[in-house]
Structure 1
Amino acid sequence: MRVDILGITVDKYSMQETVEQIRKAVEDRVRIRVVTANPEMIYASGRDERLKVLINSADIVTADGIGVVWAARQLGTPVQERVTGIDLVQALFPVADRRNWRIFLLGGKPGIAHRAGIQIALKYPGIAWDESHGYFSTEEEAYVLEKIRCFQPDILLVGLGAPRQEYWIVEHPGLATVSLGVGGSLDALAGHVVRAPERVQTFQLEWLYRLLKEPWRWKRQSVLPRFVIKILWQRFNTF
């Protein structure tokens, strides 16, 4: 089942259930597209019908962030837990390691995806991986696409930033069994960006930690109060 949040339908899967859905897709060779929908993306879809259709047409739409979890609860149809891009990717790695999956990493500045791949391989040697940075030109894109096709990945992790990565995945279907937009997750996997301590994550304050570490993010996070107002308005008109 999905919950309607400002016109975006978000799956109610837990992290474990999401991983299981992806595992089945890989094992059965069923191509699927996964979108991790955060409040900023959901809010933006209210002014961009194409983005709304793109998200809602995905095979899996996860609740990326505590803001989405809060919204679902306010609307009377709670989701089980947040399923963020970075957490989902890290939950997939043990499965990928046991089953020798092939994972392609696309995104980040030159060197980031490569470092991320090395870190993954050190911990999960059963995973075959390849990579490309995300700063390719229009002329270089054909080479990147051919590289991905030749690698034949089970999982394609695209970190081009939302919603560019979502549009890119739709514009280039069939590159992998499972295609997943992961935002800045490659930076975290490479160790280029340090995640909040586990205690901060437990208290669901990772957004505040990132804002303090990266003050420039305030422009993006300024959407959150408007997101809250829209959710409360949807709740008022629903009940």
Structure 2
Amino acid sequence: MRVEVLGIKIDHFSMQETVAHIQEAVEKKKQTWVVTANPELIFAAGADARLKQLINRAQLVTPDGIGVVWAANRLGHPVSERVTGIDLLEALFPLIGKKKWRVFFLGSKPGVAELAAQKVAEQYPGVEWQAQHGYFQPGEQAEILDRIRKFQPDLLLVGLGAPRQEFWIASHPDLATVNMGVGGCFDALAGLNKRAPQWIRNIHLEWLYRLLKQPQRIRRQMVLPKFVWQVMKQGKNEQKKHTRRVR
């Protein structure tokens, strides 16, 4: 089941269910694309028909953030919980270590993906990994693609920033069993950007914590009021359509 938020179809799965779907995909070698859809990405897709089409082709689209959970509830199709990129990774890593999956970390500044992978492997020794920063030149891409294919990852984590990572994954869908765009997660995994304390996450104010720590995010956060307004408009339009059908 999916709920449509501004034209993007969001899965109703809980964190546990999402992890189970990814595990099944890897074990059955079923190619799967995971999109963690936050309000900014959903809003951007509203102005880019190609991006919207690509996201709606993904096998798993998670509600990344309390804003998307609110939108689903507002539209009368509640989802059980938010499934953010970093939380999903942290839920997956124990399984990845146990199952000895092969994970390729692609993205972020030079050295960051490697550091993130090393820290993950220290905590979960079964993880097999390779890493590549995201500041490669167009002429280097063929070599990187060949390297990923030879590694044969079960999981390819692409941290090139949204929506660039979504377009990149869509252009190279056969590199791994499961492809997932992870935005700036490598910085958090590497310990460069500390996450909000758990109590702040529990009250759904991690976005504010990150804004206070990184004031430059204010431009991105300006999308949120526009996102809320568009969701309210969608709700009103759907209510009008329902009223006409009843009549």
TM norm structure 1? 0.99
Aligned to 1:9: 9
* Distance (Å, rounded) in 1 between the aligned partners of 2:177 and 2:196: 31
Aligned to 1:86: 86
SS in 2 for 1:43: helix
Q: Which amino acid aligns with 1:69?
A: V
SS in 1 for 2:174: coil
Aligned to 2:174: 174
How does 1:111-122 map onto structure 2 within 5 Å? 111-122=111-122
SS in 2 for 1:196: coil
* Distance (Å, rounded) in 1 between the aligned partners of 2:237 and 2:49: 21
Aligned to 1:193: 193
* Distance (Å, rounded) in 1 between the aligned partners of 2:45 and 2:160: 18
Aligned to 1:108: 108
Aligned to 2:243: none
Cα deviations across residues 6-39 of structure 1 (Å, max 9, x unaligned)? 1110000000000000000000001110100000
Larger of the two Rg values belongs to structure: 2
Which structure 2 segments of 5+ residues have no match? 240-247
Aligned to 2:146: 146
TM norm structure 2? 0.96
* Distance (Å, rounded) in 2 between the aligned partners of 1:42 and 1:138: 27
How does 1:1-239 map onto structure 2 within 5 Å? 1-239=1-239
* Distance (Å, rounded) in 2 between the aligned partners of 1:61 and 1:43: 15
SS in 2 for 1:129: strand
Q: Which amino acid aligns with 1:73?
A: N
Superposed displacement of residue 237, structure 1: 1.4
Cα deviations across residues 125-161 of structure 1 (Å, max 9, x unaligned)? 0110010000000011112111111111000000000
Cα deviations across residues 203-222 of structure 1 (Å, max 9, x unaligned)? 10000001001111110110
SS in 2 for 1:33: strand
Q: Which amino acid aligns with 1:197?
A: P
Which structure 1 segments of 5+ residues have no match? none
Cα deviations across residues 170-196 of structure 1 (Å, max 9, x unaligned)? 101210000000000011001111111
Say what the alpha-carbon RMSD is for the aligned residues: 0.6
* Distance (Å, rounded) in 1 between the aligned partners of 2:43 and 2:108: 24
SS in 2 for 1:62: strand
